[in-house]
Amino acid sequence: MVQKEIKKYFIALVFVLAVDFVWLFLIMKGFYDEQFSAFARQSVVWSAVIAWLLIPLGIVIFVDKLANSYRQSFLYGAVYGIILYGVYDFTNYATLQGWSLAMVFIDTIWGAVICSSAALFLRYFSNLPLLKNKQLLNA
């Protein structure tokens, strides 16, 4: 059982890293660069890595365990993303001068999108015939 969860974690991790990279560094790079310019400092890479490791962990532990259908995967994933990103963004808005309301809403919506998408991807990937035959996830 633990091996199955570890494999699911890595499936979700690869998805989150790939999609978040496209979002942050290609699609919304200008927006995030502008938003973070008020907080200019050297990037703390290890901190970002930990955040990226935690997001899919929560998807596997909280979303995937609860969801019994694609619809539930989508809804629970979206709620998880809103909670996760919402706490981060609203706390920053409350405590950091210069954290914009636009950032709060765009980033919180992005949390719902990426987490619901990752949960759907994980459910789809877990239901592939190869995996249902226990050839990969239950190895």
Tell me the pLDDT tens digit for each residue of 68-97. 999 999 999 999 999 999 999 999 999 999
13: in domain? yes
139: in domain? no
Q: Which residue has the higher pLDDT, 131 or 82?
A: 82
102: in domain? yes
126: in domain? yes
CA 122/CA 56 separation, integer angstroms? 10
Q: Which residues contact 45 (CB under 8 A, 6 or more apart)?
A: none
**Which range marks the domain in which residue 65 is found?**
2-132
Q: pLDDT by residue (tens digit) across 33-62?
A: 888 887 777 778 899 899 999 999 999 999
138: in domain? no
77: in domain? yes
Q: What are phi and psi of 98, to 5 degrees?
A: 100, -10
113: in domain? yes
Please give the tally of structural domains in the chain. 1
121: in domain? yes
Is pTM, for the whole model, over 0.95? Answer: no
Q: Quick one: which of 56, 61, 63, 57 has its CA closest to 77?
A: 63
Q: Which burial class, exposed, middle or buried, applies to 59 when counting CB atoms under 10 A from its CB (0-12, 13-18, 19+)? A: buried
CA 57/CA 10 separation, integer angstroms? 9
